[in-house]
A and B are shown apart, each in its own frame.
Chain A
Amino acid sequence: MPSFLSLLLLSIILATVSAGSDYTERLLLRPLPQSALLASFNFRSNDSQLSFEEQNFRYFPRSLGQILQHAHTKELHLRFSLGRWDAESWGQRPWNGAREGGTGVELWAWVEADDEDEAFSRWLTLTNALSGLFCASLNFIDATKTIRPVMSFQPEGDHSNAPNLHLLHGTLPHEVVCTENLTPFLKLLPCKGKAGISSLLDGHKLFDASWQTMSIDVRPTCGIDGHCTLEMEQSVDMVLDIDRSKRPRDNPIPRPLPIEEIKCDTSKGYNAGDTCYPLDKSSEPSWNLTEVFGRSLKGACPLTDQEGENAETVCINTPPERTVDVNTTGSYIESRAVGDTLRCYKLPTGHDFDLNLPSQQMTTGLVLPSPPLSAARSINGHGQERGSIQTVITNPSPTSAVEFVYLESLPWFMKPYLHTLRARISASPENPVLETYYRPAVDRLRGTHLELRMRIPAASTLTLSYDFEKAILRYTEYPPDANRGFDVAPAVISLIDPAASDGRGQYVRTTSLLLPLPTPDFSMPYNVIILTSTVMALGFGNIFNLLVRRFVGAEEVVAGGGGLGALVRGKIDRLKGLLGK
């Protein structure tokens, strides 16, 4: 329990990295169970609102700043994410989930505009410009992928002097986040990945992580004296598999160890010379920064503070007994905090810096804080016609109830039936839904937007389910890999917690879903046009043939009177008559 308390303290310390200086960065390393390693990079730069409006950019990147000014965007949140946070073994999410996004790309922003149409056109300007800046398909966030959340998101900044703000939210669950998104991300940093902790960020390792999320948050903050600054926060959080990261790049295929090197559980009956039941590894693996990140840390970024708390840019959160060796030729300062579970280092400038953790048998471990909620969402049913969504949300706390907002943004071709929505709490008949906001989808114009404010009692499970129908699309609307299915954006669960005071909120996101749709035969357009037209022509021809022709007895028709011959003979007769005149 003491270490649990200390972790709470730790997160408060990390969250209150003061906004006084203009540029701060910090890397927090935390070994997780099963030889995983959480690395949280955080970069913050401040510019005063006044100089921003006069286009004097110091730490705030000019490229992004001008986009925000042009699109009248007052607050921006952009996320690039991959993978799944394994809350069961890794515990609470970094930043309480406030700095992560759903799989793919997620963007939400507060745009200043007089009415909704103007807000939407500015939103399109913003997404198109950001698309160019981040080499992502953000320009595909159109009206069908944009919603206007009413309960889920609260602004983080101070917007007292901007009354006409519109919140817009868009997701691209199909977007594959990759190195081309990291390069522009690093270019926004003052040290641009050349020095400081950002020199550790390497695309090969970052996008090979079990879970990673890159975020950019821009918000205005105002002090009590009325002096406002524009704060930009960039963060990268990733969970690396240490064993996987340590594999050399030229030999990445894992191979089984020779049996002599595996520790076997000899208490098992079938243990023999050639069979083995491997024992759980109880020792922590050895690693160092260069190995797991694939790059060495090139000393401190000279723009950070040289003194004080903000100068300590690398922190590692381990039990006190864990050996951490520093390997550098320059001078560094180590300080310990929070009962020695947090070791922070002030980096030398201009010299490489490395942390070396040898393999070690541990007797104590950190108690990871458990998440306030855990959520899993899946598609039930079979066939390509219809299905149902089921979300299971569990409140692990034995004492306190949790109130939250559940947000779904579904594509238009997935048509939910809201009258089939059922929310049940295990072992309790009460209805957990307190408030519903629903905006149904319109074909090809907008997607479904569903927000539910719900309350889940202590130590219980909430099951939410609803039916949906899958639409069949026009054949030009299918992507080239039509049979792979369509991605459905993750549900966003935002906790309504009066105790949380850091202004960022707490979020849990489910994984995205893959929705297979019925497909037509893509090779058939001409055949279908021909065959359908034939059937229609048969019906039409038959009926109109009957309607416009006259019946006569079969023997009344002159023999040989029909056909081409009679026609020609008639013409000749007529011609003869004309000539004879």
Chain B
Amino acid sequence: MDRQKVLLFGAAAAVRLLLFTAFPSLPHLLAGRVEVSTPVTSFKRLQEGLFLYTHNVSPYDGGVYHQAPLLLPLFSLLPNPSYYPFATNVLFTVVDLLGAQALMQIADSGQSVKTRLFESSRKELRWSSLAMAAGFLFNPFTIATCIARSTSALTNLFILAAMAKASQGASITFVFAIAIASYLSMHPVLLFPPLLLLCYHVRASKSASAPSLLSFAIGHAGALASTCGGLLYVSALLTGSWEFMRATYGVRLLLPDLTPNVGLWWYFFTEMFDSFREFFLGVFWLHVASYMPGLTIRLRKQPLFVAVTLTGVFAVFTPYPSIADAALYLSLVPLFRHLFPLMRYTFLASATILYASFLGPAFYYLWIYAGSGNANFFYAITLVWSLGLSVIVGDSLYAALRDELDVERPELKGKEVKRI
């Protein structure tokens, strides 16, 4: 087992480092792809921010750098990636390997099939954690994100770490990881309530006397708030002012940069009438946030499933999604292997995803380079991509609810059901 893991991790690292060294122009090419790098995760923009930071110009007093301030001192420790890319490449490879390690911990915890309050009737249907890690490490989307050195790889790592720690009941590291993920890209804060519930369940099942849920929640929320506040305060100290808030979270909230990406927001707000822009920004953000309470309440017995579904929602409905978000979701879905027999549209969804993955770059080329297509070509493919992912999200949710029903009412197992 251990030998296999070493082999797997070694192979994954070798593939990445080989791609980095054998195709030195590949990172640059991928970093320029709109599907991989968004304005808030692009490595080229990070380099620009680093350049300005090391030359004593505030990187936030400009329209290019929109990433978290603490990335600046971290990456300024590494040698300049324009000339000595090796250290950065190794860093991103290690980030992926750590993510895979966290994913294995989630899978090993078994929280996907058996929680304190719920035990699936199909729980023997599982894939090994090694297979899960392999699915993550050799997912082409993950590899592309790693080669493009997009900082969403870091966010993904901390989301995975938060899930892993929550499913082990390790409060402190869980709060710390979710705080860093939220600090890096803001929307992971929505994962906090389901993961808090998960952490609570694990802790309650481990100890004889379960702590009160309310005091547990308040304590952890306070810890999260103080950790985030601490991170923001250190950032303000580092950059000398609070203007980074407007340039990082403000950009995610208000979408001033309409660079195309695989999401639904950019073309909508390119074409939006000026007087309705603020209204629809509010509606879209509310829409993203609205999934969290509904899912958490309805599926309170399976909080890990809620967290995974939320990462799928993020991959579709956040302002700057990329294939990195989809890679995270698609690597987490196999945790629920036992739900696959209950899913109805697997062929449709996977065909849609494949269709969009191949036609997306082609249509983008037609629009931007060949000039034989217009913006609608790429827009249409982002619609298909979003539709495909939301079909997976919806379908897996159906399967999860059906699975819960089978436990509640075993007599209905295998029978046709209706929703009323």
Contacts and interface: CB of A to CB of B under 8 A. Distances in A.
Interface stretch (A3-11, A158-166, A436-444): A436-444
Contact of A549 (B271, B273, B367, B420): B420
B64 A415 contact: yes
A528 interface: yes
B256 A444 contact: yes
A519 interface: yes
Interface string B405-420: 1000101100111111
Nearest to B290: A540
Contacts of B418: 551-554, 557
Interface in A410-459: 412, 415, 417-419, 436, 438-444
A546 interface: yes
A474 B270 contact: yes
A546 B398 contact: yes
B368 A552 contact: no
A87 interface: no
Contact of B57 (A412, A417, A438, A555): A438
B268 A532 contact: yes
A364 interface: no
Interface in A332-386: 382-386
A417 B48 contact: yes
Given A415-B63, A441-B62, A542-B394, A547 B298 contact: yes
Interface in B285-319: 287, 290-291, 294-295, 298, 313, 316-317
A254 interface: no
B201 to A, nearest CB: 20
B267 A551 contact: no
A253 interface: no
B289 to A, nearest CB: 12
Interface string B24-45: 0000000010100000000010
Given A417-B44, A442-B62, A383 B369 contact: yes
A411 B237 CA distance: 31
Given A417-B48, A440-B63, A553 B417 contact: yes
Given A442-B62, A549-B420, A474 B390 contact: no
A520 B267 contact: yes
B272 A551 contact: no
A443 B287 contact: no
A474 B275 CA distance: 13
Contact of A412 (B63, B264, B294, B401): B63
Interface in A497-539: 518-521, 524-525, 528-529, 531-532, 535-536, 538-539
B416 A554 contact: yes
Interface string A231-248: 000000000000000000
Interface string B255-274: 01111100010111111111
A472 interface: yes
A451 to B, nearest CB: 13
Given A440-B63, A554-B415, A539 B271 contact: no
Contacts of A555: 415-416
Contact of A529 (B50, B271, B374, B386): B271
Contacts of A389: none
B116 interface: no
Contact of A524 (B51, B273, B376): B376
Interface in B59-94: 61-64, 82
A417 B63 CA distance: 11
Contacts of B386: 535, 539
Given A443-B63, A521-B376, A552-B417, A474 B393 contact: no
Nearest to B264: A532
B14 interface: no
Interface in B232-276: 256-260, 264, 266-274
B346 interface: no
A536 B287 contact: yes
B383 interface: yes
B329 interface: no
A543 B291 contact: yes
Interface string A213-235: 00000000000000000000000
B367 A547 contact: no
A544 B50 CA distance: 43
A415 B63 CA distance: 8
A264 interface: no
Contacts of B204: none
Nearest to B54: A419
A417 B374 CA distance: 27
B224 to A, nearest CB: 25
A160 B257 CA distance: 45
B200 interface: no
B63 to A, nearest CB: 4
A550 interface: yes
Contact of B393 (A415, A543, A554): A543
Contacts of A520: 267, 270-271, 374-375
Nearest to A445: B63
A562 B419 CA distance: 11
A496 interface: no
B186 interface: no
B379 interface: yes
Contact of B64 (A385, A440, A531, A562): A440
A545 interface: yes
A62 B90 CA distance: 70
A417 B64 contact: yes
A544 B401 CA distance: 12
A50 interface: no
A507 B415 CA distance: 85
Nearest to B375: A520
B47 interface: yes
B223 interface: no
Contact of A475 (B270, B290, B398): B270
B184 to A, nearest CB: 22
B134 interface: no
Contacts of B259: 469, 471-472
A476 interface: yes
B387 interface: yes
A418 B272 contact: no
Residue from B51, B63, B316, B387 whose CB has the most chain A CB atoms within 10 Å:
B63
A418 B52 contact: yes
Contacts of B57: 438, 440
A548 to B, nearest CB: 8
A419 B61 CA distance: 16
B342 to A, nearest CB: 12
Nearest to B33: A385
Contacts of B256: 443-444
Contacts of A440: 52, 57, 61-64
B321 to A, nearest CB: 13
B387 A538 contact: yes
B258 A474 contact: yes
B402 interface: yes
B17 interface: no
A473 interface: yes
A544 B411 CA distance: 26
Given A472-B260, A535-B387, A547-B294, A419 B82 contact: yes
A38 B58 CA distance: 48
A369 B259 CA distance: 49
B281 interface: no
B95 interface: no
B186 to A, nearest CB: 19
Given A525-B273, A543-B295, A546-B419, 7 more contacts: A383-B368, A386-B32, A441-B62, A528-B268, A528-B271, A546-B401, A555-B415
19 contacts: A384-B368, A471-B257, A475-B270, A518-B260, A518-B368, A519-B374, A529-B271, A531-B383, A532-B264, A539-B393, A542-B390, A542-B394, A547-B295, A550-B420, A551-B419, A553-B409, A553-B411, A554-B418, A562-B420
9 nearest A-B residue pairs (beta carbon): A440-B62, A419-B51, A539-B390, A542-B394, A554-B416, A549-B419, A525-B271, A383-B369, A528-B271
